Amino acid sequence: MAPLPAPPTAASASAFLFSPPRSPSRYLHPKPKPTATILCSSTSAATAAGSASPSLSQQLEPLSRTLLHDKPTPIADRPTPEPTWVNPTKPKPSVLSLRRHRRRSPPANTSSTPLQPLLRALRALPEDADLAGTLDAFFLQQQGQGAAPSPSDALLLLNYLHPSWRKSLSLLAWLRALPAGAFPLDTIFFNVALKSLRAARQWPHAERLALDMLDAGVPLDNITYSTLITAARRCRQFAKAVEWFERMYAADGVLPDEVTYSAVLDVYAQLGMKEEVLALFDRARGSGWKPDHVAFAVLAKMFGEAGDYDGIQFVFKEMREVGIKPNIFVYNALLEALGKTGKPGLARNLFEEMIDQGVEPNARTLTALAKIYGRARWGRDALQLWDKMRELKLPADSILCNTLLSMCADVGLVAEAEQLFNEMKDPECRDVPKPDKWSYTAMINIYGSNGDTDSALQLFAEMLKGGIEPNIMSYTIVIQCLGKARRIQQAVEVLESGLEKGLKPDDRLCGCLLSVIALSSGEEMEMVLSSLEKVNQNLVKLIRVLGDAQVGGDDITEELKSVLNSAAPEVRRPYCNCLIDVCRNHGFPPQRAREVFHLAQTYGLYSKLQSRKDEEWSLDLRSLSVGAAKTAFDDWMQTVSERWAQQKDLPESFSVYTGSSTHKFAQGLASAFAAHLDQMAVPFHASESQAGSFISSRDDLVSWLQMSRSSAVVAG
């Protein structure tokens, strides 16, 4: 094999990594980010007018009232490499070694027999014990004062202690403390210890050990870097993995082998750095690299999550060029990624292609498909998948069975779910695992969605009797099911029972209790509030404040903002939906529901409800509860009424979307909204061309406004 080009210099290491041959300017000149400008009042102008200029904090104070705390997942920042000019007339150096790094062969005739007493003694020590005393005593007895183990014995001991990272570090520390020259401490000993730390996912200790190697002058080879990079990836320390990968070139000039390179591609993909992944892949292919299935699975996952069909075809094209056929791992990576992006059609086509190519699906494949079909409400395809499972007689694990049960809940396959669940409970059926808490939760969800409250309660009791501890989702589903059935007291009893057993309600369960309050009567409401107060006092205080006609709007704003800031972002809109339902259903002051709705709009929770065009205004109510939808519509009509009263132009048509769920058990918003329209006598009628849509014309609405100008429904 011809010698590889010289490694890059420290100055240009990052530059050639991220500059593909075709258009390096796209990496050297990043697009400017959009900026926001805040205009402040001029001090001189204010002084000339004879008034004090407000401070910047005073000017920004109104803006602060419209913001909620955000809680994004922190991602460690990665320093951006400085762009370096690359001479296009000179060949670019290789970015990886085409030879996999040689692993040292174990010494011949190595036997652990003489070390067996020491191995037994080390095994008996506690996990965090210091091994120095035991090691000193053993080698003193065997070889005399100052004796040290041979390199082969030291490697054998380190490999033996691999499952215990603390003992591995203790042994390595003892070897390093031996007198100078007594033991040749080589890179391989550190590498074995690093692998123990990687297996235990102890990234801080692994990085500290690598830094100790640098301080001690022990060279880091490809195996060292590969172990560090893969350890960082396992611990989801992606920025650290990139940092050590770049150090390979910049500091030590070590070229990664294909295993390390595939791992680094996955790290960049995990960071969402798609262009860098493609640049690295392109540079490596230019160096003569033949990617393996792992590298192609990384690309497949990255393109699949982006819903990039052209990228997926690129993966297949590259695989054909290097003579590699997609295996089950590549197909599974694609299917799982497509499930995250909601591409059921593409996933089905890919699955059919996989079957045509003779690749047999496994449990992971069917799990990914079951999730995709369930989310898409594809009942027919779900049934075909069920039949395919029966036909292939695949061994099903707990994840697959529970996913299938959840899919049945999504598409309303009650009989099929009961059949699978009964097979899981049958002691004579060994092809499927025994039901766990997730299996019971999925079945309870099916019965609860179907309105079969008694079956859901019976299964919940069976779960407790069988010694299977319900999770918080089980409690949430049962309480929600009882609330919808207006069995409020039983819902409270289930909650109290869970609290006695140490249940810690989360935001979703609190939201479920809010919906139960909305469905309860006056006395029942107090009963639920009494239980809710044990887990969320601020939420109960907010409900009390909303029901008090003497409380002003500023207090309402303060309490609602406090509750929403303490809640997870994904439950804030459901909270507001339920609070509006509570206000409307329990006769709170008439303005309360509208106040909550306006505050939610201010915080951006209802930001995409309205759409205004010159020819049409539309209102999308699909994300709202019944009470919130009525409030939003009333507020919208109030706007229309005010605009008409001011003699401003109105569009020719108006439309309202309530949605038409394909879920078998969905109760839908359309019927409740239609009843609200009949009650108000508003001239909206169901669209014949689109289910779940109501339309009206400008002429009809103007006539109605003229007839009901003094109507309290429109004015309020």
CATH number of 618's domain:
3.30.1370.110
- Report yes or no: 68 and 572 within 8 Å, Cβ to Cβ: yes
Q: Which two tokens stand for residue 546?
A: 């909303």
Q: By residue range, what is the domain housing residue 621?
A: 610-715
Domain contains 270: no
pTM of the model: 0.62
Domain contains 449: no
User: Domains in the chain: how many in total?
Assistant: 3
Packing angle, helices 238-247 and 203-216, rounded to 10: 20
Q: Which H/E stretch holds residue 459?
A: helix 453-465
Q: Which two tokens stand for residue 209?
A: 């050990």
pLDDT of the residue at 577? 93
Pairing of strands 610-612, 693-697: unpaired
Residues 599 and 614 in one domain: no
Residues 706 and 638 in one domain: yes
Packing angle, helices 472-484 and 507-519, rounded to 10: 10
CA distances in angstroms from 256 to 11, 99, 248, 297, 475, listed in the order given: 18, 9, 8, 19, 51
Strand runs labelled E in 470-534:
none
Distance CA 646, CA 302 (A): 54
- Report yes or no: 515 and 539 within 8 Å, Cβ to Cβ: no
Amino acid identity for residue 295 in this structure: A
Residues 708 and 617 in one domain: yes
Pairing of strands 610-612, 616-620: antiparallel
- Among candidates 701, 660, 659, which has minimal Cα distance to 680? 701
Domain contains 546: yes
Tell me how far apart the terminal alpha carbons of the chain are, to the nearest angstrom. Answer: 84
Residues 645 and 568 in one domain: no
Distance CA 666, CA 641 (A): 33
Domain contains 355: no
Residues 176 and 251 in one domain: yes
Residues 135 and 228 in one domain: yes
Distance CA 535, CA 92 (A): 63
Residues 251 and 143 in one domain: yes
pLDDT of the residue at 599? 93
Q: Which H/E stretch holds residue 616?
A: strand 616-620
* Sequence-ordered list of residues with C-beta below 8 angstroms from that of 593, at least 6 positions apart, any chain: 580, 583, 584, 627, 631
Distance CA 577, CA 626 (A): 8
Residues 578 and 617 in one domain: no
Helices of type H across 29-131: 43-48, 56-64, 116-124
Residues 543 and 575 in one domain: yes
Q: Which two tokens stand for residue 181?
A: 């020259």
Q: Which H/E stretch holds residue 28?
A: helix 25-28
Sheet with 610-612: strands ordered across: 610-612, 616-620, 653-657, 693-697, 685-686
The domain boundary, picked from 232, 255, 278, lies at 255
The domain boundary, picked from 583, 603, 623, lies at 603
pLDDT of the residue at 65? 56
pLDDT of the residue at 58? 56
Q: What is the CA radius of gyration of the chain?
A: 33
Cα 618 to chain centroid distance, Å, stands at 32
Residues 598 and 616 in one domain: no
Domain contains 670: yes
Collapsing DSSP to helix, strand or coil, 547 comes out as helix
Distance CA 22, CA 570 (A): 42
- Report yes or no: 274 and 302 within 8 Å, Cβ to Cβ: yes
* Sequence-ordered list of residues with C-beta below 8 angstroms from that of 234, at least 6 positions apart, any chain: 198, 201
Residues 547 and 654 in one domain: no
Domain contains 46: no
Under-50 pLDDT residues of the chain: 1-51, 57, 72-93, 98-101, 105-110, 145, 662-666, 712-716
Q: Is the dihedral of CA 706, 710, 715, 716 positive or negative?
A: negative
Residues 133 and 180 in one domain: yes
pLDDT of the residue at 62? 58
- Among candidates 156, 159, 190, which has minimal Cα distance to 173? 190
Domain contains 35: no
The domain boundary, picked from 240, 255, 270, lies at 255
pLDDT of the residue at 61? 53
pLDDT of the residue at 106? 47
Helices of type H across 75-150: 116-124, 132-143
pLDDT of the residue at 616? 92
Amino acid identity for residue 52 in this structure: A
Domain contains 37: no
